[in-house]
């Protein structure tokens, strides 16, 4: 391919017009006046003056100050000599290699940690003594909105019967102790909170058609305590938050953000299934019907804000109802929980002004 160019030999100030011949591995210039070959440069030695914005200027690494002014646009030059297209620096070009490797390894370790965190914390949580959980994590759910409503003697008797009918049931129940109360929240729900604190919401107590609903949902919540799901979730959130703080240098109060995280987040699908199965086992062991949990799930208000419900927020709710119903089986040989009428009525009025 031939092009016009002006060749400066680096010694004489005036240039000479040349016919430029571009071969696969070299470029050469023949004087238009004398046909003398003035230079042959290897393409691998070519260098482009990136500061030249008007006409392309080329040098050879082996030809000193000699230069070529090529009579062609920059785009045109690049189509003949594509190796001269300036490379835009990559984002990581100026980062030392060792930093890149170190940074990538850190990201991999953090991602790996986060991915396996759920499994690790559930194993660790089951090894933590319940007394430790109560002492160090129990305070997280003290105070509003998780302050228990005050209760009349009759309402307390009803709560005692509900909890007492299914706990303690197993010898291992001696390892933890539970407190049950009602919190002044209108949405229908129940919670297991750190340190063995169990709570029905006012909305749930008022909407439950019979004690079977309350005891079945409570049995599910007890399983969350028994299997240390609450502890595991707190550890997981604390670790995630610490990682986040490392990167953001944030100084949010850990206790308060943990509490909000606990309320906002839900247990994993695996943990819910474990709690459902154990909840049914506990009820049957106590000779009680378990179908209240599936009935509660079916009736649950879908408008409940996600952050308040670890029941409704499961996308697999229908599937869950199906296996709960199947696992509960034919419950004709099990009883419904009996609570004297006066105590049931007192419980229904709980948290009323």
Q: Which of 152, 89, 79, 114 is nearest to 343 (CA)?
A: 152
- Lookup: tokens for 203: 């909305």
Would you say 207 or 268 has its CB closer to Zn ion?
268
Would you say 6 or 273 has its CB closer to Zn ion?
273
CB neighbours of residue 46 within 10 Å: 19
Nearest distance, CB of residue 279 and Zn ion, angstroms? 9
Would you say 195 or 279 has its CB closer to Zn ion?
279
How big is the chain, counted in residues? Answer: 353
Angle between helices 211-226 and 229-248 (to 10 degrees): 60
Nearest distance, CB of residue 199 and Zn ion, angstroms? 13
Q: List, in sequence order, the alpha helices (H) in the chain.
A: 74-80, 97-125, 130-137, 153-164, 202-207, 211-226, 229-248, 254-264, 269-285, 292-299, 317-328, 341-348
The residue to which tokens 């045109």 are assigned:
76
x/- site string to Zn ion, residues 258 to 297, per CB under 5 A?
Answer: --------------x--x----------------------
Would you say 262 or 275 has its CB closer to Zn ion?
275
Would you say 314 or 349 has its CB closer to Zn ion?
314
| 3 state SS of 48 | strand
Distances in whole angstroms, Cα of residue 103 to Cα of each of 27, 43, 94, 147, 243 = 44, 38, 14, 46, 15
Nearest distance, CB of residue 263 and Zn ion, angstroms? 13
Angle between helices 269-285 and 317-328 (to 10 degrees): 20
Dihedral (C-alpha) 292, 294, 296, 300: value to the nearest 10 degrees?
Answer: 180
Q: Considering only residues 297 through 336, tell me which ones interact with Zn ion, judged by CB under 5 A.
A: none
Would you say 70 or 275 has its CB closer to Zn ion?
275
Q: How many residues sit close enough to Zn ion to count as binding (CB under 5 A)?
A: 2
CB neighbours of residue 1 within 10 Å: 9
Would you say 165 or 233 has its CB closer to Zn ion?
233
- Ramachandran assignment for 249, one of left (phi > 0), alpha (psi -120 to 50 degrees), beta (any other): left
Nearest distance, CB of residue 207 and Zn ion, angstroms? 18
CA distance 139 to 46: 73
Nearest distance, CB of residue 286 and Zn ion, angstroms? 19
Q: Considering only residues 65 through 94, tell me which ones interact with Zn ion, judged by CB under 5 A.
A: none
Nearest distance, CB of residue 161 and Zn ion, angstroms? 22
x/- site string to Zn ion, residues 225 to 264, per CB under 5 A?
Answer: ----------------------------------------
Nearest distance, CB of residue 144 and Zn ion, angstroms? 23
Would you say 206 or 314 has its CB closer to Zn ion?
314
Would you say 48 or 229 has its CB closer to Zn ion?
229
Nearest distance, CB of residue 216 and Zn ion, angstroms? 12
Q: Give CA angle at 14 (13, 19), nearest 5°.
A: 130
Nearest distance, CB of residue 311 and Zn ion, angstroms? 7
Q: Considering only residues 111 through 130, tell me which ones interact with Zn ion, judged by CB under 5 A.
A: none
| 3 state SS of 105 | helix
User: What is the contact surface with Zn ion in residues (CB under 5 A)?
Assistant: 272, 275
């Amino acid at each position: 391919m031939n092009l016009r160019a002006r060749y400066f030999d680096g010694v004489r100030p005036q240039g000479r017009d040349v016919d430029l011949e571009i071969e696969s591995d070299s470029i050469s210039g023949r004087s238009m006046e004398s046909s003398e070959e003035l230079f042959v440069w290897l393409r691998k030695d070519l260098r482009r003056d990136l500061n030249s914005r008007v006409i392309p200027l080329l040098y050879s690494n082996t030809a000193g100050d000699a230069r070529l002014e090529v009579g062609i646009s920059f785009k045109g030059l690049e189509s003949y000599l594509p190796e001269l297209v300036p490379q835009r620096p990559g984002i990581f070009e100026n980062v030392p290699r060792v930093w890149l490797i170190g940074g990538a390894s850190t990201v991999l370790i953090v991602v790996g940690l986060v991915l396996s965190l759920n499994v690790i914390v559930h194993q660790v949580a089951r090894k933590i003594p319940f007394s430790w959980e109560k002492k160090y994590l129990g305070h997280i759910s003290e105070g509003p909105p998780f302050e228990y409503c005050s209760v009349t003697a009759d309402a307390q008797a009803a709560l005692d019967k509900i909890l007492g009918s299914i706990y303690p049931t197993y010898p291992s129940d001696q390892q933890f102790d539970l407190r049950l109360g009602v919190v002044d929240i209108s949405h229908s729900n129940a919670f297991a909170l750190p340190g063995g604190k169990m709570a029905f919401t006012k909305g749930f107590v008022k909407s439950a058609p019979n004690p079977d609903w309350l005891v079945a949902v409570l049995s599910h919540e007890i399983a969350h305590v028994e299997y240390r799901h609450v502890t595991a979730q707190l550890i997981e959130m604390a670790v995630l938050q610490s990682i986040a703080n490392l990167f953001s240098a944030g100084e949010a109060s850990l206790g308060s953000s943990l509490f909000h995280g606990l309320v906002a987040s839900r247990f994993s699908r695996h943990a819910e299934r474990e709690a459902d199965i154990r909840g049914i086992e506990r009820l049957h062991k106590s000779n009680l019907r378990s179908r209240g949990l599936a009935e509660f799930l079916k009736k649950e208000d879908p408008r409940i804000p996600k952050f308040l419900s670890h029941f409704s927020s499961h996308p697999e709710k229908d599937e869950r109802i199906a296996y709960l119903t199947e696992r509960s089986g034919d419950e004709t040989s099990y009883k419904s929980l009996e609570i004297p009428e006066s105590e049931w009525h007192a419980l229904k009025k709980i948290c009323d002004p």
